[in-house]
């Protein structure tokens, strides 16, 4: 069975490539999306790629993923550090969640070090720049089928 993943991106990532390039680099989100789509296709994963600056929209997408995706790859950006609604939504998702951060959040200032959303993640990738998204796709592709069994069953129940 072909796997599917939602790739979700939080606030200000629409400015990727121009916002603080000394931290986040010069690759745009459109370039990240193109790289993700190409790599996911090679790995047999269908992805749906989204970005929103609005917390409620991201919560809606996480809830939608419960019935439409096997995995979530998520860069919550600034919401990583304080969004209880996003954390609560992530906890309802039964499949793997890979949290991605372009910068190494552990080397950042005190406000950017402690991701609360990581507590709901299967794994966290940080500090690899845009390559972190590719590593997340690879992680989803390499996971054994048993990791997805509950999400497949859930999708059947809800559908």
- Condensed to tens digits (0 to 9), the pLDDT of residues 88-145 reads 999 999 999 999 999 877 776 676 667 889 899 999 999 999 999 999 999 999 998 7
Helix crossing, 29-43 with 131-142: angle to 10°? 20
Q: To which H or E segment does residue 37 belong?
A: helix 29-43
- Looking from the CA of 152 toward its CB, the CA atoms found within 13 Å total 8
Whole-number Å distance between alpha carbons of 30 and 20: 17
Q: Which of 81, 73, 133 is nearest to 97 (CA)?
A: 73
pTM of the model: 0.89
Rounded Cα distance between 91 and 42, Å, is: 29
Per-residue model confidence as pLDDT tens digits over 38-93? 999 999 999 999 999 999 999 999 999 999 999 999 999 989 898 999 999 999 99
Handedness of CA 121, 126, 128, 129 (dihedral sign): positive
List residues with catalytic annotation.
24, 101
What is the reported pLDDT for 99? 96
The 10 Å Cβ neighbour count of residue 56 is: 11
């Amino acid at each position: 069975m072909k796997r599917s993943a939602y790739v979700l991106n939080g606030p200000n990532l629409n400015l990727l490539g121009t916002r603080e390039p000394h931290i986040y680099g010069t690759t745009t989100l459109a370039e990240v999306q193109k790289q993700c789509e190409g790599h996911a296709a090679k790995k047999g994963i269908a992805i749906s790629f989204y970005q929103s600056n609005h917390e409620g929209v991201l919560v809606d997408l996480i809830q939608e993923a419960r019935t439409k995706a096997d995995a979530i790859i998520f860069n919550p950006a600034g919401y990583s550090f304080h969004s209880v609604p996003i954390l609560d939504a992530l906890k309802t998702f039964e499949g793997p969640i890979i949290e991605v951060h372009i910068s190494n959040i552990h080397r950042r200032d005190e406000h950017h070090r402690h991701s609360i959303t990581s507590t709901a993640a299967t794994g966290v990738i940080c500090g690899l720049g845009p390559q972190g998204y590719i590593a997340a796709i690879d992680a989803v592709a390499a996971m054994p089928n048993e990791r997805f069994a509950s999400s497949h069953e859930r999708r059947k129940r809800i559908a």
